[in-house]
Amino acid sequence: MQESIAKELLLSGHDRSDGGLITALLEMAFAGNCGLDIELRGDGTSIEHLFSEELGLVLECSPEKAQEVENLLEDRGIPCERIGRTTSEKHIRVLFNKETVLAESMQELRQIWEETSFQLERLQMNPDCAAEEKQNIYDRKEPRYFVSFTPKQTAQESLESLNKPRVAILRDEGSNSDREMTAAFYAAGFEPWDISMTDLLAEKVTLEGFRGLAAVGGFSYADVPESAKGWAATILFNERLKKMFDDFYSRADTFSLGVCNGCQLFALLGWVPWQGIEPADQPRFVRNISGRFESRWSTVKVLKNKAIMLQGMENLTFGIHVAHGEGRLQFPDGTIHEKIENEGLAALAFVNDEGVQTEKYPFNPNGSPGGLTGLTSADGRHLAMMPHPERSFLKWQAHWLPEKMKKELPVSPWLQMFQNAYQWCRETE
């Protein structure tokens, strides 16, 4: 098997164990979103053949490589048999000794297979969202990714520079993703510093020497006072810290990125979309409509916007990690929402498999209006977004990629965000 994998002879595989051959075949079809045309032969009954849980493997390979796989197995004395083919038509047909024993829509069988999970989902979340997901993924197609630029590795000159712009990777009690954020900025040529709120409170360091500030994701203070409220209070109710953050925000040579919990922090600080909004009118991120924490590989689209970290990336439609319980963007004042849309301050939006902005679940995991999931300041220097680009900047971090992109993309397009920040720092030195 390892030799076949190394030679790229196999497309997929599944062990024949719980449920037997038929379960392995159906689970492969469900995951592959395709049909099967199976012809089995043998003694005994079809039940014995289809539900036997004896040791075995089901392997899928392209027709032109089938003989090579068979030769590898036969050379080692491993019996194998061709039992059928996958089909683009989403229909399952199984013959045993030329008698049809199963002929059914793949989608219908998949719905039966998922029914127990669906009933559990209804008890664990907003049941309306569970029903919406069941409907929306019934005959789901693959997402349409679109890369509007050419992603590139960071120039070696930038990585080896001895005079790198410094970025503070800011975390608080309960934060996570600080190492991923550090890695993303480092991969773009920055000198990242691990800075905790305790460091700032104890006056061990200030923000004066940094060009960038990245507030990371996670669960500051376990989100007990709601997401990022404890973190924001630590800054807003400390006169010295508040001035330090205000000064950093106002310096013309700085930029900032708030992701997930950091995004919620920026909203509570009033850093996006602009300062001076009355607290009661401030856009903020509140509990997901699903009523639960959402951890998914979702598709987002980069909108036309002013963020320096997203320049040249307009219309990028690509997968990204999502992990939040309070990510729904709420606009207490509708005029602010309208101004954000009109002035290019909406940075990213969740889209469906066709690449269209959506509020439908699960494509939009939190229910934000228009799918909006990122805001930028008017000058573009400060960006807040709920999805995690730092968990998606390496190609292998993608949960799913079209086969063509697996071969052609040298890096994930999300690395460009961090490279853009580096380029901006160089141009504004």
Q: Which of 180, 382, 390, 425 is catalytic?
A: 390
Quote the CA–CA distance of 323 and 292 in Å, as a whole number. 11
Nearest to 91 by CA among 25, 21, 37, 138: 37
Q: What are phi and psi of 60, to 5 degrees?
A: -115, 135
Alpha helix ranges (H) inside 93-167: 106-124, 127-136, 156-160
DSSP class of 300: E
SS3 (DSSP) at 272: coil
Q: How far apart are the first and last CA of the chain?
A: 55
- Catalytic residue list contains 321: no
Nearest to 260 by CA among 193, 180, 192: 180
Q: Which of 260, 321, 337, 382 is catalytic?
A: 260
Quote the CA–CA distance of 354 and 368 in Å, as a whole number. 18
DSSP class of 246: H
CB atoms under 10 Å from CB of 69, counted, come to 21
Cis geometry, peptide bond prior to residue 362 (ω within 30 degrees of 0)? yes
- Catalytic residue list contains 129: no
Quote the CA–CA distance of 281 and 284 in Å, as a whole number. 9
Q: Which of 14, 324, 388, 425 is catalytic?
A: 388
- Catalytic residue list contains 388: yes
Contact criterion met (CB below 8 Å) for 305 and 417 = no
Tokens 């460009």 belong to: 416
* Residues annotated catalytic, as ranges: 260, 388, 390
